[in-house]
Amino acid sequence: MDCEVSNGSDLQDERITNLLVFGFLQSCSNHSFHRELEALGHELPQWEEPDEELQTDGNRSSHSPVGRIEADSESQEDVIRSIARHLAHIGDSMDRSIPLDLVDRLALQLRNACRSEEDRRRDLASALEQLLQAHPTDMDKEKTMLVLALLLAKKVADHTPSLLRDVFRTTVNFINQNLRAYVRSLTRNETD
């Protein structure tokens, strides 16, 4: 596989995940990190389709990777925001099932500047595993993991708003590493 194509896919996945996590956090009810989220929104790259070139006839030519969602960037953004709102609604119903001591522990781990991003992803994975064991749901495992990862990000940011950027980055990285195929599937299914 061409390295450039692979990097384009990675950039597309990261954009989708950034938008999904950001949209989820925006859609959550009762959050105390509004200012931090607004500032983060200004720092995130604007939505663009990767690897597109403007042709002389005014159309866009794309050398995109296989599996790219066939939709213009605006409608794709709308689809991802819609998915984020739906996941936030599910998360609101699960919100009370997240133990405060788990959130406290994860916030403390994220606050430790000496921990690597890989350590932080493991901390998030460990917290998710505890939640999955303690609170089985009737949803499929990938959807449950995605909602709980997003919900943990929200809970940590609510607990300590100054950690929003850290928990956002860790959550995006975790999703891209562990749930990338599921997120791609979600976005493809919504555009069909």
What string of DSSP letters covers 78-102?
A: HHHHHHHHHHHHHHHHHGGGS-HHH
What does the pLDDT look like over 10-19, one tens digit per residue? 778 889 999 9
DSSP result, 122-146: HHHHHHHHHHHHHS--SS-HHHHHH
Give residue 95's pLDDT: 87
Q: Compute CA 115 distance to the chain's CA centroid, rounded to the nearest angstrom.
A: 21
CATH number of 3-44+69-191: 1.10.437.10
What does the pLDDT look like over 39-60, one tens digit per residue? 999 998 765 444 444 444 444 4
Domain coordinates of the chain in residue numbers?
A: 3-44+69-191
What's the average model confidence in pLDDT over 134-143? 82
Give residue 53's pLDDT: 41
- Say whether pTM exceeds 0.85: no
Tokens 């384009």 belong to which residue?
A: 8
Give residue 73's pLDDT: 57
Q: How many CB atoms lie within 10 A of CB 131?
A: 22
Q: What confidence category does residue 153 fall into, taking pLDDT thresholds of 50, 70 and 90?
A: very high
For residue 165, the number of C-alpha atoms closer than 13 Å in the C-beta half-sphere is: 11
What does the pLDDT look like over 94-136, one tens digit per residue? 888 899 999 999 999 999 999 999 999 999 999 999 998 877 6
Give residue 128's pLDDT: 94
What does the pLDDT look like over 161-186, one tens digit per residue? 999 999 999 999 999 999 999 999 99
